[in-house]
Amino acid sequence: MGLLAKVLLAELTVRSLIISLAFVVGSKRETSREKLTSFECGFEPMRKSRLRFCLRFFVTALVFLVFDVEVVLLILYLQLSAVDAGWPVVGVVFGFGVILLLGLFHELNEGSVDWL
């Protein structure tokens, strides 16, 4: 048996063990009323656990995510410009920043990021 066949057999064995272990450990068991209720620091819940989701929290998270991705992309562009210091890279970074700033000003004018 060749080396490739041994590696494939070992991989198949490990995958089978992991999948069977996942089925055993992750199988649904009987649920009770206590397990289906919300947990609030050991106290009984004082109101319904199924409340409407706050849209301001969602918008805040979305704005944070957009600017977090912006920072990652700007760092990548800066690394590329360090290797190839050309004007097209600078133009792309500037255009990207302008588009994001325009989006932020639009959200400010719309009132989506009203923090108070």
* Interval 48-98: pLDDT, tens: 666 666 777 777 788 788 878 878 877 777 777 666 666 676 777 778 788
pTM attached to this predicted model: 0.41
For residue 116, what pLDDT is reported?
A: 59
DSSP-derived secondary structure for 64-105: HHHHHHHHHHHHHHHHHHHHS--HHHHHHHHHHHHHHHHHHH
Name 105's Cβ contacts closer than 8 Å, sequence gap at least 6.
none
What is the C-alpha to C-alpha distance for residues 95 and 98, in angstroms, rounded to an integer? 5
User: Residue with structure tokens 């255009």?
Assistant: 95
Averaged pLDDT for residues 91-106:
82
Contact 74, 96 (CB under 8 A): yes
Q: Which of 19-23, 28-32, 49-53, 103-107 has the highest mean pLDDT?
A: 19-23
